[in-house]
Amino acid sequence: MTKELYRPQGSWVALITPFTPDGQVDLDGYKTLIDFHVANHTSALLIMGSTGEPTTLSLAERKEIIKNLGPYCQGKIPVFFGVTLGTTQDTIDLARYAQHNGADGVVLVAPAYIAPPQEAVFNFLKAVCDSIDIAVGLYNNPARVVVNLAPSTIVRLSQECPNLVADKEAVPDVAQLASVMDGTSGRIRLLTCDSPAYAMILPTLAMGGHGTANVTGNVAPREIAEMSQPWTNWEQAKRSRELYFELLPLMEAVYSAPNPIATKAMVRLLGLPAGYCRLPLPDVPPRTLRAMEAVIERFDLKAKYGLK
């Protein structure tokens, strides 16, 4: 390994991709968002995860984002880039491009749409891990890509790929998380998504998990960072529980439309760079937008973060 691998814990925020009014990638807006997270206790960023609309970005745009933001984040905040493409070789090429341009790591999902069998998923993930020296995180999201990463596959990868550092689970299955925790014996960090439909944050932390790979941190980074800390004492456990129920209406608002539709709308309402999702993703309807405004006012987010 060329440098010590970064191992995510706490609040790992899946960042939106901001667009300009004419629909172009807003690189200056991206930098504003990055600085916002640096100032507000986010542990690390995931750029071009599912929240970043990667399937609507051209390969040239994805490379431009990596080329500009990898160096920009260096010395400020650890950054991982989603690099999964339709083939193993294309994914390897983009992962190597991320490594060359200052990424701390990359995040991989099972290739979408093709629904490969489990052994093919293992071979795909291992090939990418083996092709780079930087950290690799897995993102298990069967709701979006059909294929579930079986715990046995994750355990095997953790044994054979020394640069595999994290597993983000987006499944409503405590048994799966327990199997990953038990089988990997601390070799990788276990994090969960913040979807209130799954409600997996407290079970994950209770089992010794390491935090959240979340969406709500786009709009309330300090609160999500505090809630997401791994538990080392009973006071932390109590505080996480309190914050979870306190922040539940905010998480529900962020997930009130398919991700990232609601997330971008809330970021936009806060006055931060966001723009609108690219078609075919629609904007939120007026009724939902009004409900989001009410939640922002309820949590006094603009005043808390000095936003106009």
Taking the C-alpha atoms of residue 260 and residue 57, their distance in angstroms, rounded to an integer, is 14
Angle between helices 118-131 and 88-100 in degrees, nearest 10 = 30
Q: Which residues pair with 45 in a beta bridge?
A: 13, 79
Token pair belonging to 95: 């992962």
Q: Print burial letters for 254-292: b (CB count within 10 Å at least 16), e (below 16).
A: bbbbebbbbbbbbbbbbebbbbbbeeebeebeeebbebb
Residue 97 annotated to the active site? no
Return phi, psi of residue 19, to 5°: -120, 150
Annotated binding residue 51: yes
Residue 168 annotated to the active site? yes
Taking the C-alpha atoms of residue 279 and residue 260, their distance in angstroms, rounded to an integer, is 12
Beta strands per DSSP E along 193-271? 211-214
3-state secondary structure of 25: strand
What do you get for the CA distance between the two ends of the chain, in Å? 44
Burial status of residue 56 (CB atoms within 10 A of its CB: 0-12, 13-18, 19 or more): middle
Token pair belonging to 300: 């006094």
Q: Of the candidates 265, 264, 275, 280, which has an alpha carbon nearest to the alpha carbon of residue 25?
A: 275
Return phi, psi of residue 255, to 5°: -105, 20
Taking the C-alpha atoms of residue 199 and residue 278, their distance in angstroms, rounded to an integer, is 29
Among residues 30, 126, 168, 244, the one annotated as catalytic is 168
Taking the C-alpha atoms of residue 241 and residue 302, their distance in angstroms, rounded to an integer, is 24
Annotated binding residue 232: no
Among residues 30, 139, 244, 255, the one annotated as catalytic is 139
Which parts are annotated binding residues?
Answer: 51, 213
Residues involved in catalysis: 139, 168
Which parts are annotated binding residues for pyruvate?
Answer: 51, 213
